[in-house]
Amino acid sequence: MGDPGPAGRFGSMGGRFVPEALIPACEQVEEAFRRAWADAGFRTELTHMLSSYAGRPTPVTVADRLSDALGVSVLLKREDLAHTGSHKINNVAGQVLLAQRMGKTAVIAETGAGQHGVATATVAAHLGLGCTVFMGEKDMARQELNVFRMELLGATVIPVTSGSRTLKDATSEALRHWVTTVDSTHYCIGSALGPHPYPWMVREFQRVIGDEARAQCAELLPGAVPDAVVACVGGGSNAAGTFAGFTATTARLIGTEAAGGAALSNGRRGVLHGFMSSFLQDEHGQIAEASSISAGLDYPGIGPEHAYLAEIGRAEYHSVTDAEAVAAVELCAQTEGILCALESAHALAWVRRAARDGELTAGSTVLVTLSGRGDKDVSVLRELIRGRR
């Protein structure tokens, strides 16, 4: 989980596959990030913002009633308690401070579930930069509350009507827009994907999750390290940040994908959005559409570092169905009084299944990253749950 070097490679994954017009922009971002990350003043400024504005550190909650229900000991890393309601603000705070340092006057972003868009609009407003967010038309319909939040924060939200009208197409549109505005604009990618240096940079901004959780587990657990560390994976930023704190330990690292995507088990090597990884593809090699009840996991690929961790056997990745995720939301809400995001519920659903099937032995200790709050999903959940009654 170190520096992927100037080529941006995680084994054979990653890299920088972009139009010639964007190569100088990526190189500028890489140089600026390397300088900033080595600058104690920048790191101090970011830490202060995450503390005084975003509310870090987030706690680890011992989920006693959920543990009793599952037969394993569950700890919840509470990114849902960070400002804006998810882990996204960790990365955005770093990238918008970097944009400011680079002399940019505006940021652009893509968003699926809307949490990254909200976080970008929030920090842009806080620091006085313009903000434009690209969002698939389908995702805008199922995440109307987050669209309004972004607009209330002063951002311009541009609906994307091409392709599947979801996160994949929003990312494509954002990249196209960046080509035309690169002199004044920084593209704030929301997950651990995209051309180098983004997968590495996003992981470094998100590793605060894993570093905090590692120290918190050391205080809470007799053995200091949980048996398993579980996080949901779309592109994979919350998982990359969580895993960064535990790769040097004995903990199992487990990523959970939406069954309608599952780019690692159902995909194959390819290139999209500037990086090489595992992607859903048809028989002709064209990118296939992913589907998930969760807009944040509705992406046909996975970040390159996750593909590498799977390839070398350091992390394992499992798929979770929509029905399992919804049931996990209900279980967490009714045992712990915590309404988690549908994305996060995929991680809890795997723990539930693994405990039931004996893949996790009774009494095992599991750390689950709750990447976000479930407020944004209430309307979707209401229709589903009422519809089955």
**In the chain, which ranges are E strands?**
9-10, 13-14, 60-62, 73-78, 106-111, 130-136, 156-160, 185-187, 228-232, 252-258, 268-272, 275-279, 315-320, 365-370
Spatial contact of 127 and 92, defined as CB atoms under 8 Å apart? no
- Nearest-Å Rg of the Cα atoms of the chain is 19
Residue 345 sits at the vertex; the CA angle it makes with 72 and 272, to the nearest 5 degrees, is 125
Selected catalytic residue, list 77, 88, 138, 376: 88
Closest CA to 202 of 253, 157, 236, 248: 236
Q: Is position 110 annotated as part of the catalytic site?
A: yes
The CA distance from 311 to 297, in Å, is 21
Using an 8 Å Cβ cutoff, are 72 and 360 in contact? yes
Give me the catalytic one of 110, 212, 336, 343: 110
Catalytic residue among 73, 79, 371, 376: 371
Q: Catalytic residue at 311?
A: no
Q: How far apart are CA 235 and CA 231, in angstroms?
A: 12
Known catalytic residues?
Answer: 88, 110, 371
